[in-house]
Amino acid sequence: MNKYRLLLITLVGLAIGQTIAMLHVYHSNLQMAEQIQYLQAQRYLIVPNIYVLPSLKSIYTAFVGGLFFTGTIVSGIIALTMLISWFWIKITNKNKMALVIIIIQWFIAIYQTNVNGWSAFTLYLCILMPVLFGICLLFPGYDNHSTQYPAIFWCLPFILMIAMSYGTGKTVSFLSIRDFLLLSNTPGQTCNDLYYRYTLYPGEVIKPFALKQQKTCFIDSRHPNNKRYFKTIVRKCIAYDYLVVPDQHMADVSLIIDHQKICFQINDRLIMKTDIMHFLQETRSVLSDFSQKTDTNEFFRMCILLSLIMGAPILIYMITIHLLCLLIQLVNVPDRISYWLVMSVLCLFVVIIIYQFPSNISDSIDQKDWEKTFQQAYTEKNWRKGCVLLKSHDYQQQTNIETQIATNWLSQTDHPVLKYWLIRFLSNTPGHSNLFIQYLDDPHVNVVCQAVYALGCQRDRGLIPPIVSFLNDCPHWYVQMYAYRALKRLGWQNNRPVVK
């Protein structure tokens, strides 16, 4: 059983975590579906639109959306719990005082999670961690050949990756992984499309108010003298996507105007107060303060980020080593040799991956040299080099020659990454609206998002009606989000046809 201990603990943890995550996302989706239907009845432009509504009520969508939490925070908790159990069993020899300290830290994490109100992260801490810790106690399994190697041995692939990145001038980031590993091949494009199709469902669960696309707001002016402020406050709220609704029970937040004060309430609970004039003059600051005071998922998001950077990769790395060793040992290879073979394979894999990334462009390159290099990349049809150049350029300083090269290259290439960066490069150049509109039907979601973004940068309010029409007909939530931002960039406001 000890041979499969790591796999057993991981599978149990992933099953429990995915169940919690799926229910978590499904509950959020149902709430959002109710809000969409209500806002549509109020004749607002809604994001996500009515085409997304069936997916919000789907268990499958909740399952796939829950994979985001499973691949980040759940994996991080699994890795952390196994590390803690190893420390307590192997290092402290089950010292009772060490266990007390671990439990205290666990309670501190629960408190930090709920400092601004109850957070669903509590479920992961109170269900997943204790179960996994108990399983680790039932199957300690630390006395094996792998523990005879120093820690630095298991870090060799990471050390090699850092050394190669530094020595070759190649940057490994989320953006470069998307551009040069995923979008450069068909399987990667499939994974990328799944990410952009389903990531907003779990994302909506943990966003603070300030980052939500649309919020509902009820405004109650209790004194006749304050009626003169009503329409101004409505306009300010709508400008920041706090959509005013007539039913207080359907509102995310209520603004109660009382004499010269505005009281922000959620479910009749007072969150904060501010002066009316201060709100009108410093609306962004006041709403940002409100968002911080009501953010119940700040600690959750921080843990997700740490899990994405460290927890999940470490867990995947541990499982990969474990499975490769088991495979090699099936052919009767001694343990010591099998571990070195596995490490060699992983190091070779790191070398192959790193060489997929192009080298960075020097920050000291001047305009003339950049233009010459860009012309060369266009002549050679070197899309990787072209993308690196486009990422590094100051878009406010592009010349007519660079614009012409980018326009020509955009009309000739089929590569999604290059199209993405060429459209972004041309986005601030006026007169390209018709060119960008052509890419609203592109098969790659990233290209479509960038084309809509570019339309919003054209500063042409005549583009508002076609963008609104496109948003209403688009079935992809991520693209809708970019279209909505483009409308806001053009100065459009989400007003109902009639505002009371």
Q: Is the pLDDT of residue 230 over 80?
A: yes
Contacts of 25 (CB under 8 A, 6+ apart): 61, 62, 65, 66, 69, 201, 202, 205
Closest by CA to 40, choosing from 470, 472, 468, is 472
Beta strands in 109-210 (DSSP E): none
Task: Show me where the domains of the chain are located.
Answer: 2-197+299-353, 209-293, 367-489
Amino acid at 409: W
Q: Is the pLDDT of residue 487 over 80?
A: yes
Tell me: domain 209-293, CATH 3.30.700, correct?
Answer: no
pLDDT tens-digit map of 89-114:
888 999 999 999 999 999 999 999 99
Confidence class for position 2, pLDDT limits 50, 70, 90: low
> In angstroms, how far is CA 382 from the centroid of its own chain?
30
Residue 20: helix, strand or coil by DSSP?
Answer: helix
Confidence class for position 155, pLDDT limits 50, 70, 90: confident
Q: Is the pLDDT of residue 297 over 90?
A: yes
Average pLDDT over residues 401-407: 92
Are domains 209-293 and 367-489 of this chain identical in fold?
no
CATH class of residue range 367-489? mainly alpha
Q: Is 257 exposed, middle or buried (0-12, 13-18, 19+ CB in 10 A)?
A: buried
Average pLDDT over residues 231-248: 92
Average pLDDT over residues 20-49: 94
Q: Is 414 exposed, middle or buried (0-12, 13-18, 19+ CB in 10 A)?
A: exposed
Confidence class for position 142, pLDDT limits 50, 70, 90: low
Which of 126-130, 204-208, 363-367, 459-463 comes out lowest in average pLDDT?
363-367
Q: Using CA atoms, how far apart are residues 200 and 445, in angstroms rounded to an integer?
A: 14
Q: What's the pLDDT at 498?
A: 37
Average pLDDT over residues 150-163: 85
Q: Using CA atoms, how far apart are residues 11 and 301, in angstroms rounded to an integer?
A: 24
Confidence class for position 500, pLDDT limits 50, 70, 90: very low
pTM: predicted TM-score of the whole model, two decimal places: 0.89
Q: Is the pLDDT of residue 36 over 70?
A: yes
Closest by CA to 321, choosing from 305, 303, 344, 301, is 344
Q: What's the pLDDT at 499?
A: 36
Show the tokens assigned to 394.
């100051």
> In angstroms, how far is CA 308 from the centroid of its own chain?
10
Q: Is the pLDDT of residue 279 over 70?
A: yes
Average pLDDT over residues 181-205: 92
Q: Is the pLDDT of residue 139 over 50?
A: yes
Average pLDDT over residues 180-209: 92
Q: In what order do the strands lie in the sheet with 269-275?
A: 242-244, 215-221, 253-258, 261-266, 269-275
Q: Is the pLDDT of residue 428 over 90?
A: no
More confident residue, 54 or 268: 54
Judge whether 66 and 22 are in contact, CB under 8 Å.
yes
Most confident stretch, 151-165, 370-384, 389-403: 370-384
Buried b or exposed e, range 328-355, using 16+ CB within 10 angstroms:
beeeeeeeeebbeebbeebeeebeeebe
Q: What's the pLDDT at 223?
A: 67
Average pLDDT over residues 450-465: 94
Confidence class for position 466, pLDDT limits 50, 70, 90: very high
Residue 92: helix, strand or coil by DSSP?
Answer: coil
Show the tokens assigned to 297.
């998922």
Q: What's the pLDDT at 304?
A: 95
